Chains A and B, each alone.
Chain A
């Protein structure tokens, strides 16, 4: 500033030497500031590289642990960069926040049971979302956001808030809390949702003028929107919802990056955004439904559906644990097909015990995993891994399907719609075109299930009435315990 004034005056009231000193000082200052911020940005760049390497490690179970560590190290680095940058506004707040958050995080990660993973992931998505909203809120209060930053703050408020309430509701549904268990909707909900989205985007646009007063109204609208979006969605569609909310939590971090002009937020946020979108897409494909259909549609038949009595009448063969034990005597290859019922019954350990017994008798045991079995992507794999099932025995649908013809016994535990042959045969059924596990091709199918009640799609399953299918009714865990006992006796 001093230098500029000098030049405008045109009159040198200080000596050239003094002017030189001022110039030198200014130059030093510029270099200092530049190197400070570029040093920080360099640190962020390294952190971003660690994130990318970390996710890359997730492409194989062998490298996944290292990958996760690399990601965590990148995060540590990014936080260190901030702490040494001298830009931390309040040290007491920062330290207290880090301590409280870490303690809570450690506690949750240690105490959670593997069957509770879906709701934990949902909760974490929500935490990430609300954190981004709060960052944007704090920036708006500083009054530093106009133009792009203002618009980005608005979008952060929208996406982050939707993620927050949407995730809390999803977690409530996954915990099967009675208040949230039933899908809930009201007439005109979709219209109201559309109005809320338009209003929130419009308010974001209004924020480009830098006033920011609209922000808190926008957040309230978006919180309501998040709840309305998730409330009508049922349990079996949760894999899609969680994957999508995962994507949103990343996007909210990325837009927050636009607000505070920070590369590492943009990079990390968009990586996660992409990850969630891919998982969403995989889940939708595995149900042969569009994302719009999952979020806004209802699973409905387009034609007359078969009557349960007609499908099942006189054709159901009920069996006992002893009979199945005899059946399993002398077989060569068994495929176990787990579904959400396995998680509900917490039967993963006893499944492993059954597999151990069979393997001791020289039987080949494999697991056929449908992509949407369970309540989140990869849910069954985690449960079985917890029970020490080696991951190379867990086969994807496309790999296992051609081999069912060479399978002596397929054991279906707590799965229904994902093994329903109607998906292939009836183009008007609600699950028409959904890829299924072709267990019906096996020599014998044993279905372990509480009753003949329909799955999420609400339709009867002709598999249960098939000639080669035996029904073993009862609680998944108890039935398997009986089966293991019967096998040991033989």
Chain B
């Protein structure tokens, strides 16, 4: 994948993000933050692919731990929060 392709994907994804997220109501801003934060833990994919050598392995391990914390904790706490949002009646 060349740089321009990657940049194209990046720019288009930013626009998609802007389009969807402007429609999120203020009531859900906190779950949006924690949920999207869990998605930014996607760096876990990179972490699983990294490693090699002592330092590479150590950095890779720490990256996996932090990213997994981010992902698992983020999605779960968002779920817990959203479970509390109820409509009247």
A interface residues with partner B (beta carbon < 8 Å): 44, 48, 51-52, 54-56, 58-62, 64-65, 67-69, 71-72, 74-75, 78-79, 81-83, 87-90, 93-94, 96-98, 100-102, 104-106, 108-110, 112, 114, 117, 120-121, 124-125, 127-128, 130-132, 134-135, 137-139, 141-142, 147-148, 242-243, 246, 249-250, 252-254, 256-276, 278-279, 282, 369, 371, 376-379, 381-382, 385-386, 388, 390-394, 396
Contact = CB atoms under 8 A, between A and B. Distances in A.
A173 B56 CA distance: 33
B20 A127 contact: no
Contacts of A256: 43, 46
A141 B1 CA distance: 22
B22 A278 contact: yes
Interface string B41-67: 111111111111101110111111111
B49 A89 contact: yes
Given A64-B85, A104-B73, A141-B56, A131 B33 contact: no
Given A59-B25, A106-B73, A378-B26, A131 B43 contact: yes
A79 B48 CA distance: 8
Contact of B51 (A138, A265, A382): A138
A262 B46 contact: yes
Given A257-B6, A267-B13, A377 B40 contact: no
A100 B88 contact: no
Interface residues of B, number: 80
Contact of A117 (B17, B30, B59): B30
Contacts of B38: 71-72, 75, 124
Given A58-B31, A279-B29, A279-B33, A82 B48 contact: yes
Contact of A271 (B13, B53, B62): B13
Given A278-B21, A381-B30, A130 B66 contact: yes
Contacts of B45: 44, 78-79, 81-82, 262, 264-265
A105 B49 contact: no
Contacts of B47: 97, 131, 134-135
A65 B79 contact: yes
Interface in B1-30: 1, 3, 6, 9-11, 13-18, 20-30
B80 A71 contact: no
B48 A105 contact: no
Contact of B59 (A106, A137, A263): A137
Contact of B76 (A65, A78, A105): A105
A274 B22 CA distance: 10
A323 to B, nearest CB: 30
Interface of B: 1, 3, 6, 9-11, 13-18, 20-53, 55-57, 59-89
B59 A382 contact: no
Contacts of A261: 1, 6
Nearest to B15: A274
A391 B84 CA distance: 9
Given A65-B79, A75-B42, A121 B33 contact: yes
B33 A134 contact: no
A56 B20 CA distance: 6
B6 A141 contact: no
A369 B6 contact: no
A266 B13 contact: yes
Given A58-B31, A252-B43, 16 more contacts: A51-B39, A58-B24, A58-B35, A72-B75, A72-B79, A75-B38, A97-B61, A98-B68, A131-B63, A250-B39, A256-B46, A272-B37, A377-B26, A377-B33, A392-B87, A392-B88
A65 B24 contact: no
Given A78-B45, A269-B42, A392-B87, A105 B71 contact: yes
